[in-house]
Amino acid sequence: MDSSINKTLNNAILRLLRPLVQVLLRNGISYHVLADLVRWVYVDVAFKSFGIPGRKQTTSSRVSVITGLSRKEVQRLRELEIPVDEDTPERYNRATRVIGGWIRDPLFFHKDNNTLDLPLEGVVSFTSLVKKYSGDMPVRAVLDELLNIGAVAMLEDGAIKLMTRAYLPGADEKAKLDILGTDVADLISTINHNLDARSVQPFFQRKVSYDNIPEEFLEQFKSLSSAESQTLLEKLSTWLAARDRDINPRMGGSGRKRVGVGIYYFEEDIEDIPTGTLPGGKR
């Protein structure tokens, strides 16, 4: 690899790893656990994405060469079962669909775009909302999840009120950590696509950033960016929902794609931006 590209990539890796390591240390994940996971992913990606076209990847020899791991280690990692939490992302997806249906389906909001307070049972109710947008998920389980994160509240008359127009996990650490895995992976996947010379059409990837903004304007920008972003996301959600076969089983078309757009806010003190030398004395 070209030395200048190598230096740039090393710097990018360090910037990427810094906030990740902060999350890992805060949650008691040691370096050795991370190292084992990284080795496993190296082998898994090498087998799945870096095979020779037209030839089946049947041995560990080539994977050993391109990953730098021994054939014995490659074979050990291939047989290693990594525990995966499938329940948390499923709850996240179901809860997001229910909230999305509540704010865009004319059955569940007023003409002034305010969502209806829903009774638990009935033709237009929380139960009918869940059945329409969350499939076979138990109504009580969805309600408990939304109550737990503060997305809904129970009123004195027994009706259920929507408190937020987006799924925010609140105190649910498992849900927050799952978002770390999905959202960061989506962003890096987009960047990887755009860096790949074989990509015919780049994916949309933009951001706006200024580095000399007084603190007094931050709250105003947070409010502005949150409102504008939520409006855009709801518009895109409505468009996608109308074409999603889980919601509209009669929708035709071929293949099955996961597609979306992500928006995030960031803020940091300029003096906190990492500087200095890279490992081995490289700047």
pLDDT on residue 171: 58
Place of tokens 């978002």: 179
Per-residue pLDDT at 236 = 92
Average pLDDT for residues 260-280, to the nearest whole number?
73
Please, is 109 exposed, middle or buried when counting C-beta atoms within 10 Å of its C-beta (0-12, 13-18, 19+)? middle
* Of 110, 125, 119, 36, the residue nearest 77 (C-alpha): 36
* 18 vs 136: CA distance, rounded Å: 40
Please identify, among 141, 162, 183, the residue that sits at the C-terminal boundary of a domain: 162
Residue 273 binned pLDDT confidence (cut-offs 50, 70, 90): low
Return the CATH number at 103.
1.10.10
Based on the domain organization, do 68 and 91 belong to the same domain?
no
Q: Is residue 5 part of a domain?
A: yes
> Which pLDDT tens digit goes with each residue over 145-204?
888 888 899 999 999 999 988 777 665 677 778 778 888 999 999 999 998 877 778 999
Of the given ranges (25-34, 173-182, 232-241, 273-282), which has the lowest mean pLDDT? 273-282
Structure tokens at 217: 């304007």
- Looking at residue 84, its pLDDT comes to 67
* Helix ranges, the chain (H): 3-26, 31-49, 61-67, 71-78, 87-104, 126-133, 139-148, 173-195, 218-241
CA distance 69 to 40: 10
Domain count within the chain: 2
Q: Are 82 and 37 in contact (CB under 8 A)?
A: yes
Q: Which phi-psi region, left, alpha or beta, contains residue 185 (left: φ > 0; alpha: ψ -120 to 50)?
A: alpha
Residue 27 CB coordination number (10 Å): 9
Average pLDDT of the chain is 84
pLDDT the model gives residue 55 = 62
- Cα separation, 42 vs 185, whole angstroms: 15
- Whole-angstrom Cα distance, residue 171 to residue 179? 13
| 137 inside domain | yes
Concatenated DSSP letters for 109-155? Answer: B-TTSPBPPB-SSSSSSHHHHHHHHSTT--HHHHHHHHHHTTSEEE-
Q: Is 166 left (phi over 0), alpha (psi -120 to 50) or beta?
A: beta
pLDDT band at 83 (very low <50, low <70, confident <90, very high): low
Whether residues 137 and 121 share a domain: the answer is: yes
Residue 214 and residue 31: Cα distance in Å, rounded? 38
Residue 100: the pLDDT is 87
Q: Is residue 131 predicted with pLDDT exceeding 80?
A: yes
Residue 185 inside a domain? The answer is: no
- Enter the DSSP assignment of 81: P
Give the domain-ending residue among 142, 162, 182: 162
Q: Do both 13 and 63 map to the same domain?
A: yes
What pLDDT, on the 0 to 100 scale, is given for residue 281? 45
197 inside domain: no
Report, as an integer, the average pLDDT of 114-135: 90
**pLDDT tens column, 41-73:** 999 899 888 876 666 655 678 888 889 999 889
Q: What is the pLDDT of residue 283?
A: 40
- Regarding whether 98 and 23 lie in a shared domain, the answer is no
Q: Is residue 186 part of a domain?
A: no
Average pLDDT over residues 246-264: 89
Are the C-beta atoms of residues 154 and 160 closer than 8 Å to each other?
Answer: yes
Judge whether 56 lies within some domain.
yes
The pLDDT > 70 percentage for the chain reads 86
**Among residues 162, 183, 206, which one ends one of the domains?**
162
Give the domain range for residue 109.
87-162
User: What is this structure's pTM?
Assistant: 0.68
Nearest to 126 by CA among 111, 92, 147: 147
Does 140 have pLDDT greater than 50?
A: yes
CA atoms within 13 A on the CB side of 131: 9
In a domain? residue 19: yes
Q: How confident is the model at residue 282 (pLDDT cuts 50, 70, 90)?
A: very low
Q: Does residue 8 belong to any structural domain of this protein? A: yes
